[in-house]
Amino acid sequence: MAHFINEPENSVTEAIDGLIAASGGRLVRLDGYPYVRVVIRSDWDKSQVALISGGGSGHEPAHAGFVGAGMLTAAVCGDVFASPSVDAVLAGILAVTGPAGCLLIVKNYTGDRLNFGLAAARARSLGHKVELVIVGDDIALPDLLQPRGVAGTLFVHKIAGAMAREGADLKTIAGAARRTAARTKSFGMSLDTCEVPGSPKEDRIPVGKIELGLGIHGEPGVRQADFKNVRTALMSVCDSLAATMIDGPHVVLVNNLGGTSNLEMSVIVHELIQSHLGNKISHIVGPATMMGSLGMHGVSISTYPATPHELELLVAPVPLNTWPGVFSIAPVQTIPLSSKLEPVNFPASVNLLLSDMLSDCCKTLIASRTELNALDAKSGDGDTGSTVAKAAETLLAASEQLPFAEPSQLYQALAQILGQAMGGSSGILLSIYFAATGNALAHGRPTIEALKLGLEEIMNIGGAKRGDRTMIDALEPALDSLIYGIEDAAVAARKGANHTSTMLKAGAGRASYVSADQLSGHVDPGAEAVARVFECLAENSLKKLP
């Protein structure tokens, strides 16, 4: 996998300079590249207790992204997934520590413990007051005497940072930080491994599997399990966390390991709230990427039983967009739709010819789901088949309530259902099409003329015309030929659809963003769907339209 970097060995220093340049002057760094990489608050005056954290890079926005008023005073950055040196940590301590002293917040990895610990000892020998807190919040390995420090470290940063901002002394802050670290519990899961720039990717997790209990450095998790959906995967995480949680409300931190989409993260939050853990959760941090792992497609969940005072410290605002804030969990609230949007109830009636036509067309579209999706993947987002199949399934389910004996009302009912059930621009356009056709029929226009008026309406509103490589390239010639019979209309629709495969430029829709190489030889999926509908009608010998 390619990365947006230059030379791998320079990626950390370049990333730090990019962060500082975009900070609006809030951040500075110590001189000493490339061996000393320390990011510091530019407004720091040493009048309060300093907070320093850090470790290997690759976990962005941690750690440098949390340097700011109310959180960290400085962050010491090592190479990717590697602890910073003793000299780098010591340089950070000496740069920010005043009479109030300094607290080092260290994740529980051997390199970090040794380097931060020795730097603290050397700083003390130079006359500085330095305390060190080790965070080991990972519960994935319950028998491990030295559990890893993962995203729950952010609870320590925030609570200690708020206390330092209020002017608490070093002893008080260190004690609170140790209590927070001891009571924070975290568990991670991922569908894929991370990839270190400049190194080959370890494809350890097969397709269809999920790894549970993994850390933030790409190391293997506790076990792999079959992945069915997020609900079952999250159940294992919640079971492990529940076994460690005390009574009382908890704050939960939902951390993106870097490669999980926002859509997925919100689904995870939904499932977390619905799980058996949900009644223990009062507040949430995230979902957001706070301690990443080089784009890993995973998530970690951290819980903390905050006291009322600790909750105030967590909620205290900070001028950092990397900290998403703390919000209370609340039931999903709804407000009623406008009465103007309430669906019109058309009286059901029978016309076997029309009902059979609709049923056959719907079944054809449902059966075409995979092929239409494959066509759409060539020029769009690959969902045309699924979209039309869902709409067809909805129409079939509602067929017994449709006014088949009144064509004008039938078309209006189809417009209403498609507008609700069919997503994307196709659903809107077809809803407009059937509404305009139904309106024309209601005003006494003949069927074919009404269908053409519906086409004119979607061309006017949608902006597409014949030759733009859309469904219109099949629909317009089909309607023009319909006067000669449904079989001629089907032939014209097929010819029009096939012709779209020779069009190297689309004039509308997502395909208009796609290059000629990708369009060449591929039929437009909307035109293909129209052609299949007319072919279905012709094959079933439906020669006469109402």
**Is 546 a member of any domain?**
no
Ranked by mean pLDDT, which of 98-102, 420-424, 527-531 comes out on top? 98-102
Backbone dihedral angles phi then psi of residue 468, each to the nearest 5 degrees? -90, 5
Is 314 in the same domain as 374?
no
Report how far residue 498's alpha carbon sits from residue 492's, in angstroms, rounded to the nearest whole number.
10
**Contact, 479 vs 456, CB < 8 A?**
no
CATH number, domain of 532, equals 1.25.40.340
Is 43 in the same domain as 129?
yes
Q: pTM for this structure?
A: 0.75
Report how far residue 428's alpha carbon sits from residue 282's, in angstroms, rounded to the nearest whole number.
40
The encoded tokens of residue 542 equal 């439906």
Q: What share of the chain in percent tops pLDDT 90? A: 70
Is 459 in the same domain as 424?
yes
**Is 544 a member of any domain?**
no
Percent helix / strand / coil, the chain, rounded to 5: 50, 15, 40
Longest CA–CA separation in the chain, Å:
99
Three-class SS state of 224:
strand
Report how far residue 253's alpha carbon sits from residue 331's, in angstroms, rounded to the nearest whole number.
18
Q: Give tens-digit pLDDT for 292-316.
A: 999 999 999 999 999 999 999 999 9
**Is 202 a member of any domain?**
yes
Is 345 in the same domain as 317?
no
Structural domain range at position 517: 339-539
Which single residue is written with the structure tokens 């020669």? 543
Q: Give tens-digit pLDDT for 419-436.
A: 877 766 777 888 898 899
**Is 410 a member of any domain?**
yes
Is 271 in the same domain as 219?
yes
Out of 289, 305, 328, a domain closes at 328
**Is 3 a member of any domain?**
no
**Is 168 a member of any domain?**
yes
Backbone dihedral angles phi then psi of residue 130, each to the nearest 5 degrees? -135, 130
CA torsion angle 356 360 366 372 (round to 10):
-140
Is 119 in the same domain as 139?
yes
The encoded tokens of residue 434 equal 């059937």
**Mean per-residue pLDDT over the chain, rounded:** 91
Ranked by mean pLDDT, which of 32-41, 197-206, 346-355 comes out on top? 32-41
Out of 294, 328, 362, a domain closes at 328
Is 196 in the same domain as 60?
yes
Instruction: Write out the catalytic residue numbers.
Output: 217
Out of 298, 328, 358, a domain closes at 328
CATH number, domain of 113, equals 3.40.50.10440
How many domains are contained in the chain? 2
The encoded tokens of residue 235 equal 């159940």
Three-class SS state of 121:
helix
Higher per-residue pLDDT: 383 or 260: 260
- The pairing of strands 50-57 and 102-107 is parallel
Is 324 in the same domain as 343?
no
Length of the chain in terms of residues written: 546
**Contact, 525 vs 384, CB < 8 A?**
yes
CA torsion angle 156 162 168 173 (round to 10):
0
Is 19 in the same domain as 128?
yes
**Residue 513: what pLDDT?**
41
Is 45 in the same domain as 172?
yes
**Is 334 a member of any domain?**
no
**Is 378 a member of any domain?**
yes
Is 349 in the same domain as 276?
no
Amino acid at 96: V
Q: What is the DSSP letter of 63?
A: T
Is 133 in the same domain as 163?
yes
Whole-angstrom distance between the N-terminal and C-terminal Cα of the chain?
A: 58
Residue 545's pLDDT band, with cuts at 50, 70 and 90, is: very low
- Burial-class residue 217 by CB neighbours within 10 Å (0-12, 13-18, 19+): buried
* pLDDT of 143 above 80: no
Q: Give tens-digit pLDDT for 506-520.
A: 555 544 544 456 667
Instruction: Look at residues 300, 327, 314, 326 and name the one whose alpha carbon lies nearest to residue 151.
Output: 300
The encoded tokens of residue 159 equal 């609570």
